[in-house]
């Protein structure tokens, strides 16, 4: 195994040295003034990145923990929730909501399809659901949904929206207030360039109203408890203080780059990855469109097992990419390109894939992928 490791998964993602250093500072106490200042600054930065004036609650938990908080605070047993499912994460949220005894209806698509507003309108009319779960970036397929029209349809039907933005926040445009999203869920370990362990929700006034009525039992994830603690600059339970320090530094870096510049960089990275893969003669599974800038899902040539490719990338080159879920595992691999990431990460990933596929006898023009990726990146952003 080579010494240098390259993490090209869609989460966890590489963490900048400044962020690692912030997380390595001496631990501070979560009931003291230092933490209060850190927490207030961090939550303020999260509001800016989420583009919201709504409350932001931060949990010491992975993204699924924050999602669980949304389900238990918004829904009582027996209440109807509509989950838009077009991949692994949509299915996870349907299973989670069912676990708490809610009445789950699914608007189901084949994996890799992009949800459509007119389907959602019909499903809402059909089910009368008062809460809709949407996945912004379905990391299992590479599809980034056009959330704005979906949220508009939900609002017109009087339903609250819960948006999984775990892999999209900080990578592609997301307007919490502008698009009227009631609850946005995200995690530290994707485009926010921080180690795993923290997650967040934004909570609109309408979501607070529902939370006041929900009868589902909850303790650790009780939003009202978190809000009461935040008013005095702390959290109800001991938070991962070192991760909060790391996240605060990472958010500072995102805001310094500027959100619009960050989005443009991600769009260019996605384009570079897609164009490079196609130049190599590979077929894309994820949509070949500008919006899908989080992770590129690629199919291996016939007869080449993607699972072996993923293992060989790791063992030979120290490169981690993601495999495909379920049946897609044999043919699909996914290159994540969010957060602390540049175009040379793309060319490194593609060059390594090229070597291994050529060894397997695939017909590949050597060098074409990296050259095309760099050109495609440079089409909007100077390399």
Ligand X SMILES: *Cc1c(COP(=O)(O)O)cnc(C)c1O
Q: Which of 6, 7, 9, 11 binds ligand X (CB under 6 A)?
A: 11
d(CA 80, CA 127): 8
Residues in the chain: 383
By beta-carbon proximity to ligand X, the closer residue of 195 and 317 is 195
Residue 135 makes contact with ligand X by CB under 6 A = yes
Q: How far is the CB of 198 from ligand X (least distance, A)?
A: 10
Are 173 and 292 a contacting pair, CB within 8 Å? no
Q: Which of 73, 102, 139, 300 binds ligand X (CB under 6 A)?
A: 139
Residue nearest to ligand X (CB): 63
By beta-carbon proximity to ligand X, the closer residue of 91 and 300 is 91
Residue 167 makes contact with ligand X by CB under 6 A = yes
Which of the residues 339 through 358 are near ligand X (CB under 6 A)? none
Residues 6+ apart with CB under 8 A from 169: 49, 50, 184, 186, 190, 191, 192
Q: How far is the CB of 11 from ligand X (least distance, A)?
A: 4
By beta-carbon proximity to ligand X, the closer residue of 45 and 190 is 190
Q: How far is the CB of 49 from ligand X (least distance, A)?
A: 17
Residue 12 makes contact with ligand X by CB under 6 A = no
By beta-carbon proximity to ligand X, the closer residue of 47 and 64 is 64
- Tokens representing 368? 């074409």
Residues 6+ apart with CB under 8 A from 18: 249, 253
Smallest CA-to-CA distance from 105 within 86, 79, 76 is with 79
3-state secondary structure of 143: strand
- Tokens representing 234? 């702390």
Are 289 and 172 a contacting pair, CB within 8 Å? no
Q: How far is the CB of 253 from ligand X (least distance, A)?
A: 20
Residue 166 makes contact with ligand X by CB under 6 A = yes
By beta-carbon proximity to ligand X, the closer residue of 189 and 235 is 189
Q: How far is the CB of 164 from ligand X (least distance, A)?
A: 5
One DSSP character per residue, 3-30 reads S--EE-SSSS----HHHHHHHTSPP--T
Q: How far is the CB of 85 from ligand X (least distance, A)?
A: 12
By beta-carbon proximity to ligand X, the closer residue of 56 and 338 is 338
Binding mask 270-309 for ligand X (x = CB under 6 A): ----------------------------------------
3-state secondary structure of 200: strand
Q: Which of 23, 112, 187, 287 binds ligand X (CB under 6 A)?
A: 187
Q: How far is the CB of 64 from ligand X (least distance, A)?
A: 3
One DSSP character per residue, 151-169 reads HHHHHHTT-EEEEE-TTTT
80-85/131-135 β-pairing:
parallel
Count the Cβ atoms, other than its own, within 10 Å of residue 128.
12
6-7/319-320 β-pairing:
parallel
Residue 242 makes contact with ligand X by CB under 6 A = no
Q: How far is the CB of 41 from ligand X (least distance, A)?
A: 23
Residue 141 makes contact with ligand X by CB under 6 A = no
Which of the residues 53 through 92 are near ligand X (CB under 6 A)? 62-64, 89
> What sign results for the dihedral spanned by CA atoms 226, 229, 230, 235?
negative
- Tokens representing 358? 């050529």
| Binding residues for ligand X (CB under 6 A) | 11, 62-64, 89, 135, 137, 139, 164, 166-167, 187
């Amino acid at each position: 195994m080579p010494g240098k490791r390259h993490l090209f998964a869609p989460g966890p993602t590489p963490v900048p040295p400044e962020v690692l250093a912030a997380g390595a500072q001496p631990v501070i106490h979560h009931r003291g003034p230092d933490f209060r200042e850190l927490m207030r600054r961090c939550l303020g930065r999260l509001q800016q990145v989420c583009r919201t004036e709504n409350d932001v609650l931060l949990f010491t938990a992975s993204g699924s923990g924050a999602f669980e908080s949304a389900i238990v605070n918004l829904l009582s047993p027996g209440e109807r929730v509509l989950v838009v499912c077009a991949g692994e994460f949509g299915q996870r949220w349907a299973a989670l909501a069912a676990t708490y005894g809610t009445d789950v209806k699914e608007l189901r698509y084949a994996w890799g399809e992009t949800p459509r507003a007119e389907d959602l309108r019909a499903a809402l009319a059909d089910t009368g659901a008062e809460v809709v779960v949407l996945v912004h970036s379905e990391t299992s397929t590479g599809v980034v949904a056009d959330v704005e029209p979906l949220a508009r349809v939900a609002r017109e039907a009087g339903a609250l929206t819960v948006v999984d933005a775990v892999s999209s926040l900080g990578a592609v445009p997301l307007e919490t207030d502008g698009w009227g999203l009631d609850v946005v869920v995200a995690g530290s370990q994707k485009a926010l360039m921080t180690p795993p362990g923290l997650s967040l929700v934004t909570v609109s006034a309408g979501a607070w109203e529902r939370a006041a009525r929900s009868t589902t039992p909850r303790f650790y994830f009780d939003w009202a408890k978190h809000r009461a603690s935040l008013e005095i600059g702390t959290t109800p339970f001991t938070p991962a203080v070192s991760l909060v320090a790391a996240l605060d530094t990472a958010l500072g870096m995102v805001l310094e780059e500027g959100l619009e510049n960050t989005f443009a960089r991600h769009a260019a990275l996605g384009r570079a990855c897609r164009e490079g893969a196609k130049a190599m003669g590979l077929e894309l599974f994820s949509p070949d469109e500008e919006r899908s800038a989080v992770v590129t899902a690629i199919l291996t040539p016939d007869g080449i097992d993607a699972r072996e490719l993923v293992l060989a990338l790791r063992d030979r080159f120290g490169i981690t990419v993601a495999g495909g879920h379920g049946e897609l595992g044999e043919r699909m691999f996914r290159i994540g390109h969010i957060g602390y990431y540049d175009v040379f990460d793309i060319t490194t990933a593609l060059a390594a894939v090229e070597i291994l596929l050529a060894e397997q006898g695939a017909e590949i023009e050597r060098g074409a992928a990296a050259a095309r990726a760099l050109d495609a990146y440079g089409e909007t952003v100077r390399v």
